[in-house]
Amino acid sequence: MRVVFPRPALLALLVLLVPLTACGNGPDDDPGPVEGAAELRDRPARGMAWVIIGPDTVLAEVADTPELREEGLMFRTELPDGEGMFFIFEQEETLSFWMRNTFIPLDIAFLDETMEIVDIQALEPEDEEMTESNAPARFALEVRQGWFQEQGIEVGDQVRIVFGR
């Protein structure tokens, strides 16, 4: 049996159904509660990530291409507390960073593939000598110098990431 709706009735039915299908309350749409942080209802903007370490969260720009990693935080004159840059590399290895054209003193945390902090080092402005991770790492997080110590964050701490969309 075929049901035929008159056009006005079909339009009214679509108007009612479209909002229901567009709500997007599935598990991929909601990051859910985060251990040690307030419940997160939204996600950061595209190209950004929340880097969550215990009760602390950094809003970080994501550097996931060679061009973005190379530029890093160059030419910046300030970096507010709670903000930073999260670097993603293709594989776990000894990572090297320098501070060419970087005017802000930074701390860098190196993370392995399991998102555990394996090394934290201080970086001085405009230092062109390479700073290498003391252990193989796949990720790095740069923040204002002293921030990790002030928050009690240290080697061995576990990190959680919520990427923007």
Q: What is the pLDDT of residues 102-143, one digit of tens each?
A: 999 999 999 999 999 999 999 999 999 999 999 999 999 999
Architecture of domain 33-163: Sandwich (2.60)
- pLDDT given for residue 18 in this prediction: 34
- pLDDT given for residue 9 in this prediction: 39
Classify residue 66 as exposed, middle or buried by CB count within 10 Å of its CB (0-12, 13-18, 19+). exposed
- pLDDT given for residue 114 in this prediction: 98
Q: Which residues of the chain have pLDDT under 50?
A: 1-39
Among 99, 82, 143, 98, which residue's Cα sits nearest to residue 117?
Answer: 143
Residue 130: count of CB within 10 angstroms of its CB: 10
Sorted by where each begins, the domain ranges of the chain are: 33-163
Tell me the C-alpha distance between 145 and 27, whole Å.
36
Phi, psi of 142, rounded to the nearest 5 degrees? -105, 135
- pLDDT given for residue 41 in this prediction: 59
